[in-house]
């Protein structure tokens, strides 16, 4: 099965920002997810960079309205584990052919990362129309994605990496950008302090970018 574009369309168009979450505290996972969802950001990318990431995902997946995905997916084992934890989508930093092939055996869609036209074209040839542009700012930012639009009109992107409230609107104004990924809505100091009202406020500010 090629990339499930219909499912990804539904997920990625639900809000302008996908929070990129690095979280290891299972006990606060649900509260964090509830704050983000209440603020208007239902899609949550939990990166597989901490020991308890899969447990965090499983807790967040219990939150009503949350659509939880795994990030930093790099192989078939982590894709299978993502499904078992309750993920509804997956995100990878790159798009090696084997990863795309393995993803075809998994029942939830993968958003693979690309950083160049060649990588985007290679993924497209394998049936992928939604791609993560990563690391967005380091690779040239919005001007690069704007340049992609004409020769690659059938591809849609979720730029991630260096995105902030200050530059998100610039990316979202591009015709080939469906949403952006960002960690600014889950700052470490607010998470550590249990300031979930503050996180909800940041989420609401980000959700308003859709207007």
Catalytic residue ranges: 45, 132
Return the half-sphere exposure (C-beta side, CA atoms, 13 A cut-off) of residue 207.
18
Please give the distance of CA 81 from its chain centroid, rounded to a whole number: 17
Sheet (strand 180-182) strand order: 110-111, 89-91, 67-71, 43-47, 17-21, 180-182
Rounded Cα–Cα distance for residues 119 and 146 (Å): 16
For residue 200, the SS3 value is helix
Are the beta carbons of 109 and 8 closer than 8 angstroms?
yes
Return the structure tokens found at 181: 């990924």
Are the beta carbons of 177 and 171 closer than 8 angstroms?
yes
């Amino acid at each position: 099965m090629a990339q499930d574009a219909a499912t990804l369309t539904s997920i990625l168009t639900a809000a302008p920002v996908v929070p990129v979450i690095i979280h290891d505290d299972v006990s606060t996972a649900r509260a964090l997810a509830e704050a983000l969802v209440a603020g208007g950001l239902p899609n949550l990318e939990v990166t597989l960079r901490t020991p308890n990431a899969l447990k965090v995902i499983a807790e967040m997946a219990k939150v009503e309205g949350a659509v939880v995905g795994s990030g930093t997916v790099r192989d078939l084992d982590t894709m299978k584990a993502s499904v078992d934890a309750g993920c509804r989508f997956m995100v990878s930093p790159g798009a090696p052919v084997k990863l795309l092939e393995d993803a075809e055996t998994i029942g939830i869609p993968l958003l693979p990362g690309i950083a160049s036209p060649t990588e985007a074209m290679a993924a497209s040839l394998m049936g992928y129309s939604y791609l993560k542009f990563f690391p967005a700012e380091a690779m040239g930012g919005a001007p690069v994605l704007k340049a992609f639009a004409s020769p690659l009109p059938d591809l849609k992107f979720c730029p991630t990496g260096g995105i902030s409230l200050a530059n998100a609107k610039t990316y979202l104004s591009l015709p080939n950008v469906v949403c952006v990924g960002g960690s600014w809505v889950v700052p470490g100091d607010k998470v550590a302090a249990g300031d979930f009202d503050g996180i909800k406020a940041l989420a609401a500010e980000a959700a308003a970018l859709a207007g």
